[in-house]
Chain A
């Protein structure tokens, strides 16, 4: 065999290896959000299971060197979270907002994408009132409405049954941390069981 013949004989195998590499790469990238053992949703779920369950948000420890509930959080923010599962019913989040105090709520699907977000600026008469459901639950809610009544709450359709809400309140200076903590703790998260 000349070197040239050898190269010809090798070529199909190399092409196959490159093809396999491409498929493995794409599949692994698409799979990671579903199987990553330490993604934000699983970290919060673990924390929610070990801590006391109340209707209030669960407070996350402030980001300091070495301790991070979630990575890349702002150390100036006091953060809290609520984990939801829509198979148990609609999920209701309520918050009151202060005067020019930053409060941000973001709604994350378990697999990553953010499907809704609101700051204190988006509050209606000082209140944030959001109901999360899947497409069917939101539709049922709309059907149950009186014809001419506008709903008090914002209704949001979630892309999947599981996810979490991040609650972040800015501590403008270190002495403001106590107030920001209170603001996060005051956010109420409730699952409303479906009426049979």
Chain B
């Protein structure tokens, strides 16, 4: 009499654990990044296929879940760095310096964002620098100070965030997506001092 009930119970437990496991797998897969084939250049990562018609199902799900309208590949490319050039995570208590070059693009913008991609709150209400407003040295090179407290020259505040990410958007860029990007063509992020 007992044996069949055991089987039912085992079937139920199997189905439930399968369901939970499957959903957990989906949640972790969509937690970071956008599916497959990121473009990596040092600390900078881009997901060019999010802006293309042939976007894969994982990237589609990640974009839908986040409520994002990705940048079309024909308009530009978005690179995100959540670590410095040495590989250490960007820490809000530290001062950083970002230095040229930036890959060829008609325009570019640099944003200090949270890990979720929202602008970081700060007293100066500055969230972004564009290629048009950046101050350059003779020869075109430039540096951007990423600090909590105001600096003269190119400066973006990192606010009170404990950690942050840098978002570099290249608009109308001729960057070749089929080749591995050259790390030296991307800005270097160096840690200066930590509070």
B29-60 toward A: CB 8 Å interface, digit per residue (1/0)?
Answer: 11000000000000000000001111101101
B128 pairs with A70, CB closer than 8 A: no
Q: Chain A residues with Cβ under 8 A from B66's Cβ?
A: 71-72
Question: If the complex has contacts A29-B58, A170-B107, are A17 and B18 also in contact, measured as CB distance less than 8 A?
Answer: yes
A39 pairs with B64, CB closer than 8 A: yes
B167-186 toward A: CB 8 Å interface, digit per residue (1/0)?
Answer: 10101100000000000000
Q: Chain A residues with Cβ under 8 A from B121's Cβ?
A: 65-66
Query: How many whole Å from B116's CB to the nearest CB in chain A?
Result: 7
Pick from B58, B64, B70: contact of A36, CB under 8 Å: B64
- Of B9-17, B84-92, B95-103, B142-150, the one contacting chain A is B9-17
Decide yes or no whether B140 CB sits under 8 A from chain A.
Answer: no
Query: How many whole Å from A42's CB to the nearest CB in chain B?
Result: 8
Q: Interface residue tally of chain A, by bracket?
A: 35 or more
Query: How many whole Å from A88's CB to the nearest CB in chain B?
Result: 22
Question: If the complex has contacts A64-B127, A117-B73, are A20 and B67 also in contact, measured as CB distance less than 8 A?
Answer: no
B75 pairs with A36, CB closer than 8 A: no
**Dominant secondary structure of chain A at its interface with chain B:** mixed
Query: How many whole Å from B17's CB to the nearest CB in chain A?
Result: 5
B111 pairs with A121, CB closer than 8 A: no
Pick from A24, A73, A75, A119: contact of B22, CB under 8 Å: A24
Q: Chain A residues with Cβ under 8 A from B78's Cβ?
A: 72
Residues of A within 8 A of B (CB): 13-14, 16-25, 28-30, 32-33, 36, 38-40, 43, 63-66, 68, 70-77, 81, 102, 104, 106, 108, 111-115, 117-119, 121, 159, 164, 166, 168, 170-173
Knowing that A13-B14, A20-B14 touch, tell me 15 more A-B residue pairs with CB under 8 angstroms: A20-B15, A21-B21, A21-B22, A39-B65, A40-B63, A64-B119, A65-B118, A65-B127, A70-B67, A72-B66, A72-B167, A81-B69, A112-B63, A114-B55, A164-B69
Residues of B within 8 A of A (CB): 10-11, 13-15, 17-19, 21-23, 25-26, 29-30, 51-55, 57-58, 60-61, 63-76, 78, 106-107, 109, 111, 113, 116-121, 127-128, 130, 132-133, 167, 169, 171-172
List 21 A–B pairs whose Cβ atoms lie within 8 Å, in order of A's numbering: A19-B18, A24-B23, A25-B25, A29-B29, A29-B57, A29-B61, A30-B61, A63-B127, A65-B120, A71-B116, A71-B118, A72-B118, A73-B69, A81-B69, A112-B55, A113-B52, A114-B52, A115-B53, A117-B51, A119-B74, A168-B75
